[in-house]
Amino acid sequence: MSNRSKNIDRYWKKNIQIVSILLLIWFLASFGFGIIFANNLDEISFFGFKLGFWFAQQGSILIFVAIIFVYIGLMKNLDHQFNKDRDD
Amino acid sequence: MTYLFVGISFGLYVFIAIKSRAGSTNEFYIAGKGVHPIANGMATAADWMSAASFISMAGLISFMGRDGAVYLMGWTGGYVLLALLLAPYLRKFGQYTVPDFIGTRYYSTTARVVAVICLIIVSFTYVAGQMRGVGIVFSRFLEVEIELGVIIGMGIVFFYAVLGGMKGITYTQVAQYCVLIFAYLVPAIFISILITGNPIPQFGFGDRLIDQDIYLLEKLDLIMSDIGFQPYTSGLKETIDVFCITAALMLGTAGLPHVIVRFFTVPDVASARRSAGYALIFIAILYTTAPAVSSFARYNLFESTHNVSYQQAPEWFKNWEDIGLIAWRDKNNDGLIQYAPGNAFDPVKPKYLDSNGEFGERIIVNNSQVSSNNEVYIDRDIMVLANPEIAELPPWVIALVAAGALAAALSTAAGLLLVISASVSHDLIKKTLATNISEKKELFYARFSVFIAVIIAGLFGIYPPGFVAQVVAFAFGLAAATLFPALLLGIFTKSINKEGAVSGMLAGLIFTLGYIVYFKFLNPEMNSSLNWLWGISPEGIGTIGMLINIFVSIMVSKFTSKIPYEIEELIDNIRQP
């Protein structure tokens, strides 16, 4: 395998890794806390909200925004690394 | 006042359209790839947030309580999928339309045409919903006939879509975003202050009532339980159904062509990721306000009208009754308005006689629903529009809301009409039927197909098919079961070939459409959780449709030929930044 295709391969594997971890968080924040475990979380009171209800109607959305910005940051670094390796 | 606000906002849209005319197909389809990520984020937000988000959503949540979260999570969570799984790669591919990608990746005209068909079904069901929104706003606030209102709205959309193409639409949508978000937040902030004293609706929603030592949500739960409703913060739907509806809305959001195509307009891959992030921030501003508005509206509605005599009912109650979106019948003869669980009348939607009852209410011909003590029919769509009136806010706030609702409906309609016309002029004419036409000719066809699409959408608005409102939610299920898997597999696998993709999309389409048509149109009386497949409602079935699509794609690809070498190279190419 040439250096070039090794670089591409490494980039793609790392990319898949980043996306998988972030999607796991995405799943937990919405389907996990907002739906599946929502009734258990409702026992906890959070600034006047039941916690499960808050995740379903507010919290999950805020976490979604955070996930995308973490992704933008991580990918920026990864792109940078990729371009450096390619130019070497 | 309302005329003034609506007039100024319309003038602004026309001005922007003249300033940003499109000269080439590149500008017409994807705005010359020169849109800044923040501007594109706003445009995407306006494109995405439709009459359904602005007018209907908070009203629906208001009556669904906890279960309304399916819309909140579903319509925002899809952006995570879009940003992480589709937008950067499709931008790298760099073509004009969604069927373009599917046609090229699966090296097949059949795949392209199937994608065009899915796109048109999804987009037209959606556009029909926007026109209903325009009609409601015009008839209530500008007191013109719905027909005239729709024609004015279509005229404006026609003007800037035909002239400016994607470029005109993009900059108009930026302006429309500003109008709609301002119009959404102002009344929400006022009402939050009135009810809880907290100026930030997202916090006010979880705060104590202004003159009482009890949290708003606790109080709301108490009021609801007293009358016999489900408490506001607990749900009625089965967990599996909530799960599937949320998933279908998320997957569908990520597969909606008019949203995806917005990411073709930015300069490079990194900008595509950033603009997905900005878009979600701009959307989240409205989507985190909406559930607050819902709870305020539910509280205000019950405080101001439950157990109040009809003669002393507030002005807005009678105004909305006049245009047919509220109806009341005094079932227990006490002269008081009373709410209770269940539908008040059978059939549900009121049909009025031309006469008034003993309290001055409009008489309706519907039978009373005997199993329910509910006396009121109230259309969910009016909650956001009526909210400022219910809270007795000044007239300029009400005018602002009307302008905002129109901005939301028109921006989405324009985006949808553009993807419909691009898929016709580019994918059907240029790439399939008449491959040798010049760019100038293609641009002409593009403008001509916007014209036709506007006319059809206008007809939907003037003669709304009765099923429009329910069908809009299904556009998501169909997008989830057809376009989303084809795009996802096209990027993340090299094993799916054209036979696999085409049969997968058709399997997803037929299964999902079949399930919806069976329960919604053929056997509506059987539409209950007892008869549903694993307790999944037609709204959530797109999730299963997606799984079927993926399964069929993989299986068929296993037994047919491998993809050609140049397609493998294409996939490698879109995977690099």
Residue A47: list chain B partners with CB under 8 A.
203, 206
Among chain B residues, the shortest Cα distance to A47 is held by: B206
Does B246 contact A48 at a Cβ distance shorter than 8 Å? no
Query: Is the CB of A19 inside 8 Å of chain B's CB atoms?
Result: yes
Please check whether residue A60 lies inside any domain of the structure: yes
Out of B73, B202, B276, the one facing A30 most closely (by C-beta) is B73
Among chain A residues, the shortest Cα distance to B288 is held by: A58
For residue B420, what are its two tokens? 């419909």
Residue-range domain boundaries for chain B: 2-294+393-464, 301-390
Out of B84, B205, B276, the one facing A19 most closely (by C-beta) is B84
pLDDT, one tens digit for every residue, chain B (577 residues): 777 777 787 777 777 777 766 666 666 666 666 677 788 888 888 888 887 778 777 878 877 777 777 888 888 888 888 888 888 888 888 777 788 888 888 888 888 888 888 888 888 777 877 777 777 777 767 777 777 777 877 887 777 777 767 777 787 888 888 888 888 888 888 877 777 777 777 776 766 767 777 776 667 777 777 777 777 666 667 777 777 888 888 888 888 888 888 777 777 888 888 888 888 889 888 888 888 888 888 787 777 777 777 777 777 778 778 777 787 777 777 877 777 777 777 777 777 777 777 777 777 777 777 777 778 788 777 777 777 777 777 777 778 888 888 878 877 887 788 778 777 777 666 666 666 777 677 777 777 777 888 888 778 777 765 555 556 667 888 888 888 898 888 888 888 888 888 888 888 888 888 887 777 777 666 666 666 667 677 777 888 888 888 888 888 877 877 777 877 777 877 777 7
The C-alpha atoms of residue B112 and residue B98 are separated, in whole angstroms, by: 9
Write down the pTM of the prediction: 0.83
Please check whether residue A68 lies inside any domain of the structure: yes
Contact between residue A74 and residue A18 where contact means Cβ atoms under 8 Å apart: yes
Distance from CA of A88 to the nearest CA of B (A): 17
Residues 6+ apart with CB under 8 A from B436: none
The C-alpha atoms of residue B50 and residue B127 are separated, in whole angstroms, by: 9
CA-wise closest residue to B345 among B329, B324, B325: B329
Query: Is the CB of A31 inside 8 Å of chain B's CB atoms?
Result: yes
Question: What is the pLDDT, as a whole number, of residue B473?
Answer: 67
The C-alpha atoms of residue B548 and residue B505 are separated, in whole angstroms, by: 9
The C-alpha atoms of residue B487 and residue B489 are separated, in whole angstroms, by: 6
CA-wise closest residue to B506 among B102, B200, B126: B102
Q: Which domain holds residue A16?
A: 3-82
Reported in sequence order, the residue ranges of B127-211 that DSSP labels E, i.e. its strands, are none
Query: Is the CB of A48 inside 8 Å of chain B's CB atoms?
Result: yes
Does B270 contact A76 at a Cβ distance shorter than 8 Å? yes
Dihedral angle sign, alpha carbons of residues B407, B408, B409, B414: positive
What burial letters (b/e) apply to A36-73, b meaning 16+ CB within 10 Å?
bebeebbeeebebbbbbbbbbbbbbbebbbebbbebbe
Does A83 contact B233 at a Cβ distance shorter than 8 Å? no
Query: How far is CA B369 from its chain centroid?
Result: 31
Of the residues A61, A80, A84, the best mutation for testing chain B's interface (the one with the most B CB atoms within 10 Å of its CB) is A61
Question: What is the pLDDT, as a whole number, of residue B351?
Answer: 79
CATH code for the part of the protein at B2-294+393-464 = 1.10.4160
Residue A11: list chain B partners with CB under 8 A.
575-577
DSSP state of B394: -
Query: Domain count of chain A?
Result: 1
If you write DSSP's letter for every residue of B540-575 in order, what string do you get? Answer: GTHHHHHHHHHHHHHHHHHTSPPPPHHHHHHHHHHH
DSSP lists the bridge partners of residue B378 as B326
Of the residues A60, A64, A77, the best mutation for testing chain B's interface (the one with the most B CB atoms within 10 Å of its CB) is A64
Which amino acid would we find at residue B498?
Answer: K
Contact between residue B50 and residue B187 where contact means Cβ atoms under 8 Å apart: no
The C-alpha atoms of residue B197 and residue B216 are separated, in whole angstroms, by: 11
Q: Is the peptide bond before B291 cis (omega within 30 degrees of 0)?
A: no
The C-alpha atoms of residue B59 and residue B561 are separated, in whole angstroms, by: 51
Each residue of A12-53: pLDDT tens digit? Answer: 888 888 888 988 988 887 777 767 776 776 677 777 667 777
Out of A34, A50, A64, the one facing B80 most closely (by C-beta) is A64
Which amino acid would we find at residue B572?
Answer: D
The C-alpha atoms of residue B293 and residue B306 are separated, in whole angstroms, by: 19
Residue B88: list chain A partners with CB under 8 A.
75
Contact between residue B346 and residue B377 where contact means Cβ atoms under 8 Å apart: no
Residue B577: list chain A partners with CB under 8 A.
11, 75, 78-79, 82-83
Contact between residue B461 and residue B135 where contact means Cβ atoms under 8 Å apart: yes
Which uninterrupted H or E stretch holds B465? none
Please check whether residue A88 lies inside any domain of the structure: no
Does B69 contact A72 at a Cβ distance shorter than 8 Å? no
Query: How many other C-beta atoms lie within 10 A of the C-beta of residue B565?
Result: 8
